[in-house]
């Protein structure tokens, strides 16, 4: 009976893992933006995988031991869940992180009981890399349209940097296969293609990660160890000095490649550090970095004279440093959990003498200092798979009575069922959101509003859903009803489009003070934004605040927008005309 169940579990697990790899690689197109498709389908498939695995474990407790490290990682998920409830965190990000942890534990169990083998997992990762290479090749030849508005080559993602980081992390898999297998021609071709596209994509984070991969392989080599032991102190000091000098000048070169972007990140890190210092224990809530950071940035710019920081600033969606972002969202404890996760994987890789895994873990851990990792689902998926491989091979395991094993399996079965239920509700709400956009385009505002009202509870903390619902009410001129929904959405985002619409509602209700405050928030978040200042000037003229309008007009004339366009010139022209006529 158990043999038959094991075969069935193996088949179902393989199918689900293939579906997960497809889900995180391609946008299904049924949601309002691609990342929702990737993360929601990832989460629901993880719940299915956990459910069938737990069901198998309930009926088959013959596995000998339980990994202590899996228990540690499980409590990380418990912390995220409790923190989310305590701080009213953003539901979707919390769900994604918890699903990631559940996937890590489930996959490590499947590997340990030999349902899934490691070669299959690595083949899945290489298949994703091949898909990205094919799409990038097609985009470079203008055969395939880019998935990004801003970059001609992006693979199946909107951000080419996420592809660069992912394909870089696949290099150790290819290195080990080229070293250990006889037929290596295809792997050598793949290796060369990855290097080529890493050069084309010009991702600074990937270059840093590549240096870490190279250093890991060099320093773990036997020849290097022998050379180091034979070297005297003077030679060692010279080598270390040379290494430090190389790192220093390479860092300066990487900084100079995109200086404005680098300066922007320095500002983000500075303000993020201040946010952590202000609220180190609780944090601000998982998924709420974007909302709270931009308000912090607005407050900072209001208290500072105009500098190049003002000129380089824009709306910020992430910290470009996962450790800082985790500290802001989950507090110092959340930061410790995230950092501890990398330390644990690095420790296990060293203990198991798994150079391939060590190179990947170290590279990702360092790249997480300069870019986003867990939000880039393909790279995060790769790390989770290697984490599962390392957990499965760990020796720190303990025995449990059969009854306790069965009870743990039942708990995981319940967790997976609850997650599955909530994920289905969320997916239903997001499908409804996509449908409502079509209805609004057809000017069927009332029908769209009624649809969204029915799904409001299922949508939970979705700022996109709440904003769209408020938009449908505003289109029906139900401004008093729309404003509370906009305010609720503003608890989860600081997207300026929301503030524009909320200011418009205030203006229609003649609540000009609130409208001005809302528009000034936009102007503070992005100091070079001319549209918000132009609307402020128009409102000030409307309420006969001529002196205030003149001051705003002067700001419009003096500000240099990041990107010049006809609209910007129009705002400046009208500001000059107003100043001339109001003398």
- Provide the mean pLDDT of the chain: 90
Contact (CB, 8 A) for 412 and 54: yes
Decide if pLDDT at 569 tops 70.
Answer: yes
Decide if pLDDT at 160 tops 80.
Answer: yes
CA distance 74 to 104: 9
Interval 100-150: pLDDT, tens: 999 999 999 999 989 999 999 999 999 999 999 999 999 999 999 988 888
Cα-only R_g, the chain:
27
Decide if pLDDT at 2 tops 60.
Answer: no
β-pairing, 397-399 with 65-67? antiparallel
In this structure, the number of other CB atoms found within 10 A of the CB of residue 189 comes to 12
- pLDDT score at 380: 97
CA distance 494 to 290: 7
CA distance 90 to 463: 9
In terms of Cα–Cα distance, which of 520, 569, 577 is closest to 553? Answer: 577
- pLDDT score at 474: 94
Domain ranges of the chain: 2-220+250-414
Percentage with pLDDT > 70 across the chain: 93
In this structure, the number of other CB atoms found within 10 A of the CB of residue 112 comes to 21
Interval 352-409: pLDDT, tens: 999 999 999 999 999 999 999 999 999 999 999 999 999 999 887 777 788 888 888 8
Interval 534-552: pLDDT, tens: 999 999 999 999 999 999 9
Interval 232-282: pLDDT, tens: 667 667 766 776 776 666 666 665 666 666 778 889 999 999 999 999 999
Interval 290-312: pLDDT, tens: 999 999 999 998 887 777 778 77
Could you give the dihedral angle defined by the CA atoms of residues 177, 182, 188 and 189, in that order, rounded to the nearest 10 degrees? -120
Percentage with pLDDT > 90 across the chain: 68
Number of H helices, E strands in the chain: 26, 2
- pLDDT score at 1: 46
Average pLDDT over residues 475-499: 94
């Amino acid at each position: 009976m158990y043999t038959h169940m094991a075969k069935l579990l193996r088949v179902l697990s393989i199918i689900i893992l293939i579906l997960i790899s497809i889900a995180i690689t391609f946008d299904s197109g049924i949601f309002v933006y691609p990342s929702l498709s990737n993360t929601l389908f990832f989460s629901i498939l993880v719940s299915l995988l956990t459910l069938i695995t737990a069901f198998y474990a309930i009926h088959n407790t013959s596995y000998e031991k339980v990994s202590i490290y899996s228990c540690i990682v499980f409590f990380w998920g418990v912390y995220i869940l409790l923190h989310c409830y305590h701080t009213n965190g953003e539901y979707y990000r919390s769900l994604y992180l918890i699903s990631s942890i559940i996937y890590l534990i489930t996959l490590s169990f499947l590997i340990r009981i030999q349902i899934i083998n490691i070669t299959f997992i690595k083949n899945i990762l290489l298949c994703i890399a091949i898909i990205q290479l094919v799409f990038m090749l097609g985009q470079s030849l203008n055969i395939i349209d880019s998935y990004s508005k801003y970059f001609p080559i992006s693979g199946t993602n909107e951000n080419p940097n996420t592809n660069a980081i992912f394909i870089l992390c696949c290099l150790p898999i290819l290195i080990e296969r080229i070293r250990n297998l006889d037929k290596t021609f295809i792997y050598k071709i793949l290796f060369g293609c990855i290097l080529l596209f890493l050069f084309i994509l010009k991702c600074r984070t990937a270059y840093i990660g590549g240096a870490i991969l190279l250093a890991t392989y060099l320093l773990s080599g036997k020849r290097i160890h022998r050379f180091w032991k034979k070297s005297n102190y003077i030679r060692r000091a010279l080598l270390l000095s040379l290494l430090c000098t190389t790192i220093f000048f390479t860092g300066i070169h990487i900084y100079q490649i995109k200086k404005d972007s680098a300066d922007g990140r320095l500002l983000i890190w500075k303000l993020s550090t201040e946010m952590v210092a202000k609220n180190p224990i609780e944090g601000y809530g998982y998924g709420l970095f974007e909302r709270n950071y931009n308000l912090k940035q607005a407050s900072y710019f209001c208290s500072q004279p105009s500098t190049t920081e003002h000129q380089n600033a824009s709306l910020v969606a992430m910290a470009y440093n996962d450790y800082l972002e985790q500290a802001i969202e989950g507090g110092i404890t959340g930061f410790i959990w995230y950092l501890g996760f990398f330390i644990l994987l690095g420790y296990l890789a060293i203990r198991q003498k798994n150079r391939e895994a060590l190179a990947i873990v170290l590279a990702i851990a360092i790249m997480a200092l300069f870019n986003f990792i867990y939000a880039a689902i393909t790279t995060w998926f790769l790390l989770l798979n290697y984490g599962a491989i390392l957990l499965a091979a760990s020796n720190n395991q303990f025995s449990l009575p059969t009854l306790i094993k069965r009870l743990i399996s039942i708990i995981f079965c319940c967790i997976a069922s609850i997650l599955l239920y909530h994920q289905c509700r969320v997916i239903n709400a997001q499908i409804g959101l996509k449908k409502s956009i079509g209805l609004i385009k057809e000017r069927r505002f009332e029908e769209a509003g009624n649809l969204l009202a029915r799904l409001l509870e299922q949508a939970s903390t979705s700022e996109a859903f709440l904003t769209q619902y408020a938009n449908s009410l505003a289109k029906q001129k139900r401004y008093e009803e729309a404003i509370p929904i906009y305010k609720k959405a503003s608890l989860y985002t600081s997207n300026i489009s929301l503030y524009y619409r909320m200011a418009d509602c205030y203006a229609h209700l003649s609540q000009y003070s609130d409208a001005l405050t809302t528009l000034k928030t936009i102007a503070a978040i992005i100091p070079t934004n001319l549209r918000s200042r132009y609307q402020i000037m128009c409102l000030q003229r409307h309420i006969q605040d001529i002196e205030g309008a003149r001051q705003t007009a002067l700001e419009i004339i003096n500000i240099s927008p990041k990107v010049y366009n006809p609209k910007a010139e129009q705002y400046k022209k009208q500001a000059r005309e107003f100043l001339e006529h109001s003398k």
